[in-house]
Structure 1
Amino acid sequence: MKKWYFLLLIAFVSCKNSDEPELASRLVDVQEVKEMKKEEVLALAAPLMGDLAPLIGGALKHDIKLYKVRYTTITTDGKEIVASGALVMPIGAAKVRLLSIQHGTQFEESDAPSYFKSGTESLLALFMGAVGFATAMPDYVGYGESKAEPHPYEHAEGLAVPAVDYLLAVKEFMKEAKTDWDNRLYLAGYSAGGYATLATQKLIEASFSKEFNLVASSCGAGAYNKSLLLDLFVNEPTAGEANHNRSYIWVLQTYNRIYNWKKPMSYFFKEPYASAIEKDGYKVNFTGSFNTLLNPTFVSSYNGGGEEEVRKAFKENDLTHWKSLTQTLLVHGDADTYVPYINSKTAYEGMTEAGSPKVNLVTVKGGTHESSIQEFILRTYIQFGANP
C-alpha cells in the first residue's frame, strides 16, 4: 500500500542542461479571495483564544491576503485529481516563514478551509498569517475542489501525499510571486490534524527533505497509535458520544474501502447499527460505548487472533515508532476521552526509543479534547516563535 512510491516515480522529470531531476509542477491556479485587516482577524480570533487573546493578540503585525489554491495530487488508488487549499499571505512582511496547518475532523464539506467560512479552523490560518507566516491549509481530498472523492480519513498516506503536493504547489506560487520566503517550513495540526501533521512530517523527512527545510512541528491530540486504539475500542468502554462514534465508524469505513476488504457493515456492527451505517455512513447518530455497537462475531474473531487484514491495516497507519530529526512537539490532555492521551504518550516513547533527538511531550493535566486546544495554540506559538 505504499502508493506514494508511485507518486515519486511520476513526480520526477528530466531537466534540460542538468543532471539533477526536478519535481513536476503541482500548481494549477491561484484565486485571490479578499484582504483583511489585522484588527478584523483579532476580533474573529479572540473568542477562540479566550484568556490568551490579550497575551498573543499583540503578535498580529500584518494585514493579510486570502487565496484559494488549486493543485494536482493523487488519491489512494493512484488517480490524479485537482484538489484545493487555503493560503493566507501577510501583507508587507519583509521575509516570511511557511507554515502548513492540517485541519481536524470535519463532518461537513462546507467547512473546508478554502471556503474561509466563519467559525471554522481556517481562522487559525488567518491568525498565523497576521503574525507573519505564509500559512497554507490544505482542504484534503474529499473537500473543496475534490469534494466528489471520498476523504481518506485517518489514513496516513492518503493525508500526507496530498499535503506534501499542496506544499509543493504553494512553493511554486511563492516563487512566481517573488515572495521573500526564508525557506523554512513549519507544520501544525490538532486532533485529526495532529495525526495528519505527523504523517506529513514523516513523508517529508523520508522523501522531500531536499525540497523543504522542515524546522519544527506541533501535533495536538492525534490518534497516532491506531493498532492500540483498535484493541481498546474493541474491548474497553468509550465515552459513547455520538460524534466520537462517527469518527470511529469513519475510520473503519475508510480502511474497508482503501484496503479493499469489501466487508458489509454488518461484518463489523450488529443491528440496527449496521443497516443505518450502510445507509448514512458516518453521519449516523449513535450514542453508547463503541464496543456495544460491534458485531459479537467480529469481536470474538478479533480477540481469538483473527482479523489479520484488519490488524495489518491499523498497524500500517501507526505513527509511533520512527526516527525523526525535526523539533517535534506533542500536546495532549490526559483526560481526553475522544482521542485518548495514550496516543501521544506512546508516540513520544516510541519515537524516543527510535532515536528521535528533538521530540517533546506536553501533558495538559486534566485537559479534555476541547479544553486542551488553547494550551495547544499557546505551545505552538511558543514552539515556532522559538525558531525566529
Structure 2
Amino acid sequence: MVTPKSILSLLLISSMLFLVPTSCKQSNGSDPITPAPARVLTKSTLLGTFTPEQLRSRYTGSSQLLQAFIKFGVSVYRLEYTTTNTDGKSITASGAVVVPTTTNATPMLSLQHGTIIGDSEAPSNFSSSSEVYTFGTLFASQGYVISAPDYIGYGASKDILHTYEHRKGLATASLDMIRATRDFLSDKSINWNKRLFIAGYSEGGYATLALQKKIEEETGSEFNLVASSCGAGAYDKPAFMKQIINGTTSGVASINRLYVWVLLTYDRLYGLNRPVSYYFKEPYATQIATQVAANSLDININVSLNQTFTDTFKKGVIDGTDNAFLAAVQDNDIHDWKPKTPLRLYHGDADDTVFFLNSQNAYDAMKKQGAANVQLITIPGGNHASSILPYISGTYDFFSSIQ
C-alpha cells in the first residue's frame, strides 16, 4: 500500500533535496520584544500556476509514486520585502511563496533552505534544483502555504555577500519573510489559519533553530508557532569550531570550503578584517586569498583542515586569548536555551560534515534548562546526505501528527 511516508521515502531518490552540506556571544537573555512592523511586503510577482496534473507529470519512472502525494494544485509567487541587514540598515530581500489551490484554511510552513552555491538555487528563482521546487511544492500540494526566504545574499540582495551561518542575519531575513508572506496572504484574501510551522536541514536547520529562538524571545504573541523541525544544523558553534581547529576532519575539499566560508564570514561581519595569512599557512593562505579576491570559494583543500591553520591562530583559540574571534563564534551559538515550542532535532550520528555533537549538545543543554517539548531523533549510521530521507519523512509525520 502506498502511504505518504513511503512516497516521501522516494523524495530523496528522485530529487536529493538539501544535498549541499553546511558547516557551522550567545546572549544569556533575549533581545527586547519589539512591535511588529505594520508592513514589510513591497512587491509580489506570480511565477506560475500548476494544476495537480502538471505537478504529477514531473514524476515519471522511479519517482512515479510521488504522483500520489499530489493533492492540490499550487501557485508560486516571488516576494520582495524590507528587512534589516547585519549592519542595521534596511535592505530589500526576497523569497518564494507557494500557495495550495484550495479555499480551506491552511497553515503556513516556513522552509529555510540548506547551503546553496549559486543564486540560481535561491527559492525565488524557483529552479528545478531548488528545495522549494521539490520539497516545498509537495508540502504545498498537501495544504501548506510555503514561505521560503532566499536569505541575504541571494535573490533581490544577490549583490551582497551571504550571511553564511550567521544567527542574526538568517533569523531576521526568515522572520521578515514570514511577515511578508502574511502581508501577501492578506492582500490576496487567502485563508491562512494562523498556524505556523518551521523547518530546515543543514544551514536550514541552523537557520530554523535561530528563527525559533527569535520568534519565541522577541515577537511576543505575534505568531502562533506550532512546531519546529531542525535537521543537522551547527547549533553548538564553540564546540564545533574547536573540534574543527583541534581535531581531525574528513579532508574532503567540498566540506573544507564550507568551514572556510564560515570563518571568513565571521571575520567580515564582526569587523576582524584579518589577512587570510593570519588564519592559514602557505600554500593554503595564497589559494584562499586568490579565490576570495575573485569573489569565489572554489577552494581545493583535501587535507584535514586543522593542518592548514597557523600556530598563532590555533594557540589563540586553545588558550582563549583570541578574544575577538571567540566572541564572534559565541555570538552565533544557539544550542543552550529553553525552547517552548515542540521541537525535533534530527541528526545522523556518523555525520562528518556537521558533527552529531551539535544536536546532542543542544538536546542535553535544552533538557537541562527544563525544556519539555524537545526530542533528539538520532539516525544510526547516518551521514549528512543519507540522513536527509529520515529527516523529511520524520518532519512530515511530526507535523501531520500535530495537524
Both structures adopt the same fold (TM-score exceeding 0.5) = yes
Equivalent pair of 2:348/2:380 in contact (CA under 8 Å): yes
Partner residue of 2:385?
Answer: 370
Task: For 2:32 and 2:370, locate their aligned partners in 1 and report how far apart those are by CA, in whole Å.
Answer: 28
Alpha-carbon deviations, 1:279-301, whole Å to 9, x = none?
21332122111111111221123
Higher mean C-alpha deviation, range 145-154 or range 296-305: 296-305
Q: In the superposition, relative to structure 1, how do residues 8 and 65 fare at CA in structure 2: closer, same or farther (>3 Å)? A: same
Q: In the superposition, relative to structure 1, how do residues 260 and 323 fare at CA in structure 2: closer, same or farther (>3 Å)? A: same
How far 1:230 sits from its partner (Å)?
1.2
Equivalent pair of 1:88/1:136 in contact (CA under 8 Å): yes
Task: For 1:262 and 1:374, locate their aligned partners in 2 and report how far apart those are by CA, in whole Å.
Answer: 40
The partner residue of 1:218 within 200, 205, 229 is 229
In the alignment, residue 317 of structure 2 is paired with which amino acid? Y
Partner residue of 2:240?
Answer: 229
Q: Which runs of 5+ in 2 are unaligned?
A: 1-24
Matched, 1:71 2:96: no
How far 1:302 sits from its partner (Å)?
2.1
Partner residue of 2:125?
Answer: 115
TM-score, L = length of structure 2: 0.88
The partner residue of 1:246 within 232, 257, 280 is 257
Task: For 1:329 and 1:138, locate their aligned partners in 2 and report how far apart those are by CA, in whole Å.
Answer: 21
Partner residue of 2:107?
Answer: 97
How far 1:61 sits from its partner (Å)?
1.1
The partner residue of 1:339 within 339, 354, 360 is 354
Equivalent pair of 1:62/1:93 in contact (CA under 8 Å): no
Q: Aligned to 2:235, what secondary structure does the other structure show?
A: coil
The partner residue of 2:307 within 273, 285, 292 is 292
Q: In the superposition, relative to structure 1, how do residues 237 and 78 fare at CA in structure 2: closer, same or farther (>3 Å)? A: same
Identical residues among aligned pairs (%): 39
How far 1:102 sits from its partner (Å)?
0.3
Partner residue of 1:35?
Answer: 49
Q: In the superposition, relative to structure 1, how do residues 99 and 46 fare at CA in structure 2: closer, same or farther (>3 Å)? A: farther
Task: For 2:378 and 2:237, locate their aligned partners in 1 and report how far apart those are by CA, in whole Å.
Answer: 20
Q: Which runs of 5+ in 1 are unaligned?
A: 13-21
Equivalent pair of 2:33/2:219 in contact (CA under 8 Å): no
Equivalent pair of 1:104/1:191 in contact (CA under 8 Å): yes
Partner residue of 1:19?
Answer: none
The partner residue of 1:327 within 342, 345, 369 is 342
What pairs with 1:1-388 in structure 2 (closer than 5 Å)?
Answer: 12=35, 23-42=37-56, 44=58, 54=65, 58-122=68-132, 123-281=134-292, 282-388=297-403
Higher mean C-alpha deviation, range 253-262 or range 189-198: 253-262
Alpha-carbon deviations, 1:100-140, whole Å to 9, x = none?
00000111122111111112212211111111100011000
Q: Aligned to 2:286, what secondary structure does the other structure show?
A: helix
Task: For 2:40 and 2:32, locate their aligned partners in 1 and report how far apart those are by CA, in whole Å.
Answer: 12
Task: For 2:263 and 2:169, locate their aligned partners in 1 and report how far apart those are by CA, in whole Å.
Answer: 15
Q: In the superposition, relative to structure 1, how do residues 33 and 292 fare at CA in structure 2: closer, same or farther (>3 Å)? A: same
How far 1:38 sits from its partner (Å)?
3.0
In the alignment, residue 125 of structure 2 is paired with which amino acid? Y
Equivalent pair of 1:35/1:66 in contact (CA under 8 Å): yes
Q: Aligned to 1:262, what secondary structure does the other structure show?
A: coil
Task: For 1:34 and 1:303, locate their aligned partners in 2 and report how far apart those are by CA, in whole Å.
Answer: 53
Equivalent pair of 2:110/2:199 in contact (CA under 8 Å): yes
Task: For 2:138 and 2:329, locate their aligned partners in 1 and report how far apart those are by CA, in whole Å.
Answer: 35
Paired residues in the alignment total 372
Equivalent pair of 2:74/2:98 in contact (CA under 8 Å): yes
In the alignment, residue 69 of structure 1 is paired with which amino acid? L
Q: In the superposition, relative to structure 1, how do residues 45 and 326 fare at CA in structure 2: closer, same or farther (>3 Å)? A: farther
TM-score, L = length of structure 1: 0.91
Equivalent pair of 1:42/1:127 in contact (CA under 8 Å): no
Q: In the superposition, relative to structure 1, how do residues 373 and 42 fare at CA in structure 2: closer, same or farther (>3 Å)? A: farther
Alpha-carbon deviations, 1:63-114, whole Å to 9, x = none?
0001100000111001211110011000024111000000001111221111
In the alignment, residue 139 of structure 1 is paired with which amino acid? D
Equivalent pair of 1:98/1:135 in contact (CA under 8 Å): yes
Task: For 1:167 and 1:33, locate their aligned partners in 2 and report how far apart those are by CA, in whole Å.
Answer: 19
Task: For 2:380 and 2:328, locate their aligned partners in 1 and report how far apart those are by CA, in whole Å.
Answer: 32
Q: In the superposition, relative to structure 1, how do residues 308 and 23 fare at CA in structure 2: closer, same or farther (>3 Å)? A: same
Greater RCO structure (CA 8 Å; 6+ sep) = 2
Task: For 1:235 and 1:40, locate their aligned partners in 2 and report how far apart those are by CA, in whole Å.
Answer: 52
Task: For 1:252 and 1:36, locate their aligned partners in 2 and report how far apart those are by CA, in whole Å.
Answer: 41
Q: In the superposition, relative to structure 1, how do residues 240 and 69 fare at CA in structure 2: closer, same or farther (>3 Å)? A: same
Q: Aligned to 1:160, what secondary structure does the other structure show?
A: helix
